[in-house]
Amino acid sequence: MATIETQQRVTLKLMVSKERKKVIFAEAGKDFVDVLFGFMTLPLGTIVRLVNSKDSNIEAVKVGSLNSLYESVQNLDEECLFTDTCKEMLLKPRNSMEAYCKHLKLNIEHAEPSQYFVCNNLLACRYKSSLLLSTSNDKTCTCGNLLAKPISLNSNGPHGFVKSNVSFIITDDLHVVPTSMDTFFHLMKNSGIKDMSCVNEMIVNITQDQVTNLLKSCLVSETTLTDFFLEEELFYKRLERVNPSSCDFNAKDDRKIEVKLMKRKLNGKIVFAQGKEDFADFLLSFLTLQLGGVVHLLEGCSSMGNIDGLYKSIVDLDDVYWTTKEVKNKLVNLGIAPHFKLNNHFLPIHESDAPNLFCYTNVQYASHKPGRISSTFLTDCYLTFECKAVQGHLETCKPLEFIDGVSNSGNGEGFVKGPTMYMVTDGLVVMPMSSISIASLLKSMGIPFSGLEEKVVSIGIEEGVSILRASLTSPSALTNGLGHLLNNNVKRKRK
């Protein structure tokens, strides 16, 4: 691990109330704001993987029921999965904004950029009008060879989100605004500060190793900067989950998933649910959704720490402060990474367009005898965002077509196989249905057969969004997400 002395660092200034020992606001430039906005691009599966680790200063964080869902994927037998790459896609989902995050000074995903693969016989295929590209090395090229040759992405590309010549004020609850006199005096007045003798000015640095802890604080604290920079002990006391807030949502899709719920009579909580592979796929796909896209779907009502305020800052920040208007529009409505959306995924979150990439190649001829060419070999090959001008027949720069990663046939069937039935606990532990699993669960909870009620429900957009919202903050995602259905239909008691 790199030491603090050799790590990249971002510097910011804190204004701290002496009396309240609380951060009033921070002042920072592009590098720190890009880090905060970059959090919104992270897929939920990536967030769980990052914050589930115990740090020397800040403990692991439980993100509602998503930790259990993530562990379910880790424990799923390969025989249950549609392809060999499905588990990797769920445990390490792609970030659709990776190209923008790649050059952040403190990139939380720096250690694990996406891998790209082209045809093993690129030397022969490079003259085609377009080439195939995959993020897994088990797909097949049109020529019959595997797409297993690793290829790197040229360093040229977008650099972050906001412009570099702007200073920003970040409040303790993560509202980000351009620095201005009006904002300065407004925040000081609201904090009861009459003059600068009541304020401590602090210069602080944040390093790569600390970014994950900052993310943890963003997810669970309503005073993120104070907890992160000043009061780590107080942070522990705030690791409490809140009940999801309700948001109005208009369903625009009539697709339904039929699920059988087993409910406990004693307290009305769902013990487990039984569904087909479409139900398991729907829940597992939560891990591929990017945080900003989820908050957009929930209309800014995720109830996760200061995430909603951070998202609102993105929406409200004027176009002139962004590197391009396009990057703001993408952050406001983040889609699922290309080729990660299933055909039966009915949540109204779009699939992001695959980036326009090109494959540049350069070859040389090797000759062992004067005037005779004996072999050809690649001297250079890489991916680039722009079609590079080439000279002569030694160079090529061809457009690329992405191959779908969800299924071998490329039609997005799903992550898990049917016709297996799947069992899902209230906390979103997903597993193949078996009598042993049912018996073990009921025994561990001390529930007699006579203490159960069975109910069949249909899950559409409204119910799906409700489960997703509950999964972010509640360890009982099914009960909290489907509570409004539990008393509406006829119940069938277990005898």
Do 376 and 393 contact (CB within 8 A), yes or no? no
| Cα 218 from Cα 213, distance rounded (Å) | 9
Strands lying side by side in the sheet with 395-402? 131-133, 395-402, 358-366, 375-384
Percent of the chain with pLDDT over 90: 61
pLDDT band at 56 (very low <50, low <70, confident <90, very high): low
Amino acid at 257: I
Rounded alpha-carbon distances, angstroms, from residue 362 to 148, 187, 320, 378: 19, 57, 40, 6
Q: Are 292 and 313 in contact (CB under 8 A)?
A: no
User: 323-372 pLDDT, tens per residue?
Assistant: 999 999 999 999 998 888 887 778 999 988 888 889 999 998 776 556 55
Measure Cα distances from 249 to 152, 418, 440, 463 in Å. Answer: 42, 31, 37, 10
Q: What is the pLDDT of residues 206-229, one digit of tens each?
A: 998 889 999 999 999 999 999 999
The confidence score (pLDDT) of residue 490 equals: 39
State how far the Cα of 25 lies from the Cα of 173, in Å rounded to an integer.
9
Specify the pLDDT at position 165: 92
178/321 Cα distance (integer angstroms) = 8
Confidence band for 492, pLDDT divided at 50, 70 and 90:
very low
Reported as a single tens digit per residue, the pLDDT across 435-445 is: 999 999 999 99
For the entire predicted model, the pTM comes to 0.87
What's the half-sphere exposure (Cβ side, CA atoms, 13 Å) at 226? Answer: 21
Residue with tokens 């304020």: 199
Q: What is the pLDDT of residues 384-436, one digit of tens each?
A: 988 888 888 889 999 999 886 655 434 457 899 888 899 999 999 999 999 99
Phi-psi region of 192 (alpha: psi -120 to 50; beta: other; left: phi over 0): left
Largest CA distance in the chain: 91
